Amino acid sequence: MMLITKDLRSKTTEELKELLIKTKVELGNASSATMQGAQKDKGMASKMRKEVAKIMTVLNEKKILAEVK
């Protein structure tokens, strides 16, 4: 699941929060699968952490913009 920052910026805050929760759950699943040896792609957890960071960055940008207005 590759998220593009431009697409994230077009989403509402609620949509981003829902996506953040979903991505964090997927991150937990990927991490546990890697530890158990069931995950073939060892870098999946790293990719998921980056996705979480993108979502959180966009959420913080929206928060700052809302405070300035």
Supply 59's token pair.
Answer: 């959420």
> What is the length of the chain?
69
Whole-number pLDDT of residue 12? 95
Output the CATH code of domain 12-68.
1.10.287
Beta strands in the chain (DSSP E): none
**Tens digit of each residue's pLDDT (9 = 90 or more) over 10-32:** 999 999 999 999 999 999 998 88
pLDDT tens per residue across span 46-67: 899 999 999 999 999 999 999 9
Q: What is the pTM of this model?
A: 0.87
